[in-house]
Amino acid sequence: MAKDTLKGLNVAILVTDGFEQVELTEPRKALDEAGATTKIVSPKHQRVRAWNFTDWSIELPVDVDLDQAKPEDFDALLLPGGVINPDSLRIEPNAVAFAKAFFDSGKPVAAICHGPWTVIETGAARGRRMTSWPSLKTDLKNAGADWVDQQAVLDKGLVTSRNPNDIPA
């Protein structure tokens, strides 16, 4: 992305412990380089811990506590995957409501790997063409999505990708 392409846009990155490190750090780097302001929003207070493929990894500061985050303060939402992170977020009512507000207002949302689990909980998967980590295929189909095996899919403001290797797409 060109520098300042996204200048003035505020992007929420909704995570809790166990997000896949590269699924947050690489998109965040690209967004920041394009001029966006990114904020980590989390039900965890102060810090969140990354998972790096097979083990715990870095900790990152939480910029906005989920219970104080307002979707109207953001222009877009990023949902990194990792197995632990979205599995925890999807049973957190405030996280689901926060994500749902982006869909309800037509704001762009990106979900990587297992991130679509949170999309399922919002009800926004129905009628959308989506991709994900292969193990979510049945979950997405059961939620009414048209699952496809592609690097990245854009449908009605939702961008989904399969895994960390697809992030450049």
Run of H or E including 82: none
For tokens 């697809």, what's the residue? 166
Q: Which is nearest to 88 in space by CA: 28, 23, 158, 15?
A: 15
Give the CA radius of gyration of the chain.
14
How many CB atoms lie under 10 A from the CB of residue 50?
23
CA distance 165 to 169: 9
Cβ count near 98 (within 10 Å):
24
Distance in angstroms (rounded) separating the CA atoms of residues 76 and 10: 7
- Catalytic-labelled residue, pool 28, 39, 90, 114: 114
Is residue 114 part of the annotated active site? The answer reads: yes
State the catalytic residue, choosing from 99, 113, 145, 153: 113
- Report the half-sphere exposure of 75 (CA within 13 A, side-chain side): 10
| Amino acid letter, residue 99 | A
Catalytic positions: 113-114
